[in-house]
Amino acid sequence: MMGETVKIRVDDRELEVQRGTLLIEACRAAGIEVPSFCYYPGLSLQAACRMCLVEIEKAPKLQTACTVPVTEGMIVRSNTEQVTQARRSMLEFLLGNHPLDCPVCDKGGECELQDMVFRYGASESRYGEAKRHVEEQQWSPVVYFDAPRCILCYRCVRVCDEGMGVGALSVVNRGVHTEIAPNHGDHLECEECGMCIDICPVGALTSGAYRYKARPWEMQYTSTICTHCGDGCKTTLSVRNNKILRGNNRDRSGINGEFLCIKGRYAYDFVEHPSRLRQPLIRRGRELVETTWEEAIGTVAAKWSEILARRNKAANNTLAETSEKRSEGFGVIGSNHTTNEENYLLQKFARTVLQTNHVDHHRTADYAALIHALANESAEQPSQAQRPPLARSKDIVGASAILLVGNNPTEQHPLIAWNIREACRLNGARLYIIHSRRIPLLRQSHRFLPLGLGHEADALRHLCGEPEATQALLGETPSGDNVTADLLNDFRNRLQEEKDVIVVFGDEITGPDVSLLIRMGSRLSGQTRYIALGDYSNSRGASDMGLLPHLLPGYRPVGDAAARAFFEDRWKSPIPATVGLSVDDMVAATLQGGMDALYVVGANPLKGRNPEDFCGKTFLVVQDLFLQETAQAADVVLPAASAYEKSGTVTNTCGELQRLRKAVGVLGTRTDLQIFASLAAAMGATLHPSQPEEALEEIRQMVPEYNIPLANVLAGGAEAVLNPNGFKPLAAPAETSGRVYSAQDTLFTSGTLGRFSNILNLVPERNIRKEPGPA
């Protein structure tokens, strides 16, 4: 998109910039200082703060650099006496009614107004009148508003309306009494994302969670990846005395820019929840009692070794005791939140030490089917496309069209929703939605195809041109929309014309439907790219690392002898060849007494069931943060560290690898990686490697798709993994065993972690917010 450039002159420097660039951007890109409060890249123009006034030759008075596009031959001066005087006088005006309560104000030390006054003067006040005073207001558990501190830059109003699409803030009154006001009189009803607080240049909007806790220079900052949903936002945790005080991404690094939702910004507080497990528990009789790590590890290792020995003996005497009840041996259920390294080692531990393929996790998106379908597709028609078929999250912003099938990104994938809104708002992208409900993103949509629950596959068939499917879609939907043939054809025709589509889909499309989706995508005019939406921070990583009963790391089928041989050679241990049991199958088998031992890491497969029913049915070891249903039924419970307490890497739902960094430590817990190593050691087995860095190195050797340049990742950036462009089609098709379903978390829930986040439970929207149902 290189347009023609123009030459301008700023402070006697020749600049060559693209025509139409705003003067303020041109100056800043060249390192020429032009201050502003209200100008904010990506938000609509205001020209309200008048800080960016500059002299432009031939203009009779000072001009705002934020509204003037550059033109050929423009001569600008930003350092004259008149300009500096204007800046100083604007600050003097601002400070007139601004309370000088910096010692109390939370923003002190990182306040843009402080910085500006320091830089441009006006530190001596000639204001001798009474200052306007209004009492501070609390708008929600996390948002406080102090009106006199507000400088009315309208950033909060715009980011809420334009960026979030919520529009919960507005302006009331006029003149010096102008104030920002929330949408419900004296309180907010919104997504509680805290973007308004983050974007506020002064201390007018402050966070209820961080309120009066510390000063910015007193804290250590650790940038890591949010451990809630699958979008993988970077969040910078501010830590003082081993306590996380706040989360934000003020430096706008990472894939999310400055965006964070309520979970990324506030829901770190589960870390120090009082019911956090801080000591291993062991079952004595009916009770779970606290014990030492040594005893817990020893007990587990001894029991597992005993089972292993019994099974080996049984395997040698297969002919002798066939009458004995068949047992499935070990079952291992992994987590959606643990790191790639831990997931990789857990399945390695299960497949080599415990000799089982009963390895699974709660699958929330069918990544395996997507990878296989894309691989088969590229085998059939080798494409000329330059770009990988799996889109990264930022690619959405640049796409000219987006097709959303199912899911509700506003609730489940806030960053994806933010990117979609940005694409529509800034780049005029057209959003096509196929959905059974009226989701909030309809506000941005170009075309909407409403349908009945579970008819997503019919819609795909209709788009592929199958008339029977078209018939199935006609009529009134439960959401109250009338679907006509015209609507369906119009949707198909419009979509057909699109050149650059990114398809975003949720758990509505799984198994064979994914192939259908790829077939539909390949019929569109340009190259189509895909994003599958999985629920949690490392859902994608769990799939990639082979926490699946039928696939080894990198989606190599366990049934494929060559793939198995490759891993057996490196792991120096045989791997069982049969496809294992899924989570549901393992739970069912346990209930019937068919599992010798079950090892659950960071998951709660018994959610919603009665733990009593499972007590004593198997030797159950649970490794988790909290005593949830599964842990309550366990024989041994091992307290694990959360994602904010360890290092490693995670892969987000778009396949972007990012680095976790340890922010705090919780006494008594150990990381999952440490626990695996101690268990293996206690069983007399070696489980190498034991450090996250070494584990990542092994992953890179074993899974070629993870063998990507790491410099960016180590520096806190993201790198896309598993690019199936040129991915070799696999001999065996992907078996579809086990369910794939989303937990349908909302903005205010987050599986187990959400239950133990006080802030998520505190915001009233959690209960009053309703899905936009039928009109």
Closer residue to another protein, CB minimum distance, 83 or 501: 83
Q: Which of 108, 298, 398, 611 binds another protein (CB under 8 A)?
A: 108
Closer residue to another protein, CB minimum distance, 80 or 173: 173
Q: Which of 5, 137, 138, 178 binds another protein (CB under 8 A)?
A: 178
Instruction: State how far the Cα of 363 lies from the Cα of 336, in Å rounded to an integer.
Output: 8
Cis bond before residue 440 (omega within 30° of 0):
no
Q: Which of 70, 90, 403, 488 binds another protein (CB under 8 A)?
A: 90
Binding range to another protein, per CB under 8 A, among 176-184, 286-294, 302-310, 327-335: 176-184
Closer residue to another protein, CB minimum distance, 130 or 711: 130
Unique residue bearing structure tokens 């059939």: 380
Question: In the bound complex, what is the minimum distance in angstroms from residue 57's beta carbon to another protein?
Answer: 16
Question: In the bound complex, what is the minimum distance in angstroms from residue 191's beta carbon to another protein?
Answer: 23
DSSP category for residue 390? B
DSSP conformation letters of 528-571: EEEEE--SBTTHHHHHHTT-SSSEEGGGEETT-HHHHHHHHHHH
DSSP category for residue 184? B
Binding range to another protein, per CB under 8 A, among 89-97, 182-190, 275-283, 473-481: 89-97
Question: In the bound complex, what is the minimum distance in angstroms from residue 172's beta carbon to another protein?
Answer: 9
Q: Which of 84, 127, 295, 471 binds another protein (CB under 8 A)?
A: 127
Binding range to another protein, per CB under 8 A, among 7-15, 61-69, 539-547, 569-577: 61-69
Binding range to another protein, per CB under 8 A, among 122-130, 231-239, 683-691, 758-766: 122-130
Question: In the bound complex, what is the minimum distance in angstroms from residue 48's beta carbon to another protein?
Answer: 5
Q: Which of 29, 75, 104, 453 binds another protein (CB under 8 A)?
A: 104
Closer residue to another protein, CB minimum distance, 46 or 590: 46
Closer residue to another protein, CB minimum distance, 117 or 747: 117
> Interface with another protein includes 93 (CB under 8 A)?
yes
> Interface with another protein includes 86 (CB under 8 A)?
yes
Closer residue to another protein, CB minimum distance, 87 or 492: 87
Q: What count of Cα atoms within 13 Å lies in the side-chain half-sphere of residue 214?
A: 16
696: left (phi over 0), alpha (psi -120 to 50) or beta: alpha
CA proximity to 600, closest of 254, 407, 336: 336
Instruction: State how far the Cα of 206 lies from the Cα of 694, in Å rounded to an integer.
Output: 42
Angle at which helix 81-97 crosses helix 112-120, to 10 degrees, equals 140
| Secondary-structure breakdown of the chain: helix, strand, coil percentages, each rounded to the nearest 5 | 35, 20, 45
Signed CA dihedral, 402, 403, 407, 408: sign only? positive
Closer residue to another protein, CB minimum distance, 8 or 113: 113
Q: Which of 7, 13, 177, 313 binds another protein (CB under 8 A)?
A: 177
Q: Which of residues 208-267 bind another protein (CB under 8 A)?
A: 211-215, 217-218
Q: Which of 152, 449, 583, 747 binds another protein (CB under 8 A)?
A: 152
Question: In the bound complex, what is the minimum distance in angstroms from residue 426's beta carbon to another protein?
Answer: 18
Question: In the bound complex, what is the minimum distance in angstroms from residue 35's beta carbon to another protein?
Answer: 12
Instruction: Count the neighbouring beta carbons within 10 Å of the beta carbon of residue 714.
Output: 13
Q: Which of 3, 31, 175, 285 binds another protein (CB under 8 A)?
A: 175
Question: In the bound complex, what is the minimum distance in angstroms from residue 129's beta carbon to another protein?
Answer: 4
Closer residue to another protein, CB minimum distance, 210 or 330: 210
> Interface with another protein includes 184 (CB under 8 A)?
no
Question: In the bound complex, what is the minimum distance in angstroms from residue 467's beta carbon to another protein?
Answer: 37
The runs of H, that is alpha helices, within 55-124 are 81-97, 112-120
> Interface with another protein includes 96 (CB under 8 A)?
yes
Amino acid residing at 759: I
> Interface with another protein includes 53 (CB under 8 A)?
yes
Q: Let me know: does 258 contact 250? Beta carbons within 8 Å.
A: yes
Burial of 578 (0-12, 13-18, 19+ CB in 10 A): exposed
Q: What number of chain residues touch another protein (CB under 8 A)?
A: 47
Q: Is 1 in a helix, a strand, or coil?
A: coil
> Interface with another protein includes 762 (CB under 8 A)?
no
Question: In the bound complex, what is the minimum distance in angstroms from residue 347's beta carbon to another protein?
Answer: 44
Instruction: State how far the Cα of 511 lies from the Cα of 521, in Å rounded to an integer.
Output: 16
Question: In the bound complex, what is the minimum distance in angstroms from residue 68's beta carbon to another protein?
Answer: 10
Question: In the bound complex, what is the minimum distance in angstroms from residue 157's beta carbon to another protein?
Answer: 10
CA proximity to 703, closest of 535, 541, 533, 515: 541
> Interface with another protein includes 615 (CB under 8 A)?
no
Kindly give, in sequence order, each residue whose CB lies less than 8 Å from that of residue 124, ignoring residues fewer than 6 positions away: none
> Interface with another protein includes 89 (CB under 8 A)?
yes
Q: Let me know: does 134 contact 147? Beta carbons within 8 Å.
A: yes
Instruction: State how far the Cα of 448 lies from the Cα of 92, in Å rounded to an integer.
Output: 51
Q: Which of 97, 419, 510, 528 binds another protein (CB under 8 A)?
A: 97
Closer residue to another protein, CB minimum distance, 31 or 128: 128
Q: Pattern of binders to another protein over 32-51, x per CB under 8 A?
A: -------------x-xxxx-
Q: Kindly give the pairing relationship between strand 359-360 and strand 330-333.
A: parallel
DSSP category for residue 229? B
DSSP category for residue 703? -
Closer residue to another protein, CB minimum distance, 215 or 499: 215
> Interface with another protein includes 136 (CB under 8 A)?
yes
Question: In the bound complex, what is the minimum distance in angstroms from residue 742's beta carbon to another protein?
Answer: 39
Closer residue to another protein, CB minimum distance, 156 or 282: 156
CA proximity to 357, closest of 563, 159, 49, 155: 563
Closer residue to another protein, CB minimum distance, 131 or 570: 131
Question: Which tokens in the block code for residue 62?
Answer: 């000072």
Question: In the bound complex, what is the minimum distance in angstroms from residue 66's beta carbon to another protein?
Answer: 9
Q: Which of 12, 14, 129, 287 binds another protein (CB under 8 A)?
A: 129
The runs of H, that is alpha helices, within 317-349 are 340-348
Q: Let me know: does 402 contact 502? Beta carbons within 8 Å.
A: yes
Burial of 425 (0-12, 13-18, 19+ CB in 10 A): middle
The runs of H, that is alpha helices, within 600-639 are 629-632
DSSP category for residue 177? G
Residues paired with 15 in a beta bridge = 8
Question: In the bound complex, what is the minimum distance in angstroms from residue 128's beta carbon to another protein?
Answer: 8
Q: Is 733 in a helix, a strand, or coil?
A: coil
First to last CA, the chain: 42
The runs of H, that is alpha helices, within 150-238 are 155-158, 195-199
Closer residue to another protein, CB minimum distance, 215 or 252: 215
> Interface with another protein includes 67 (CB under 8 A)?
yes
> Interface with another protein includes 1 (CB under 8 A)?
no
Q: Which of residues 695-734 bind another protein (CB under 8 A)?
A: none
CA proximity to 613, closest of 590, 636, 581: 590
Instruction: State how far the Cα of 607 lies from the Cα of 598, in Å rounded to an integer.
Output: 16
> Interface with another protein includes 155 (CB under 8 A)?
no
Closer residue to another protein, CB minimum distance, 183 or 723: 183
Signed CA dihedral, 552, 594, 681, 575: sign only? negative
Angle at which helix 456-463 crosses helix 485-497, to 10 degrees, equals 60
Question: In the bound complex, what is the minimum distance in angstroms from residue 470's beta carbon to another protein?
Answer: 34
> Interface with another protein includes 77 (CB under 8 A)?
no
Which spans of this chain sit near another protein (rule: CB under 8 A)? Answer: 45, 47-50, 53, 60-62, 67, 86, 89-90, 92-94, 96-97, 101-104, 108, 126-130, 132, 136, 151-152, 170-171, 173-178, 211-215, 217-218
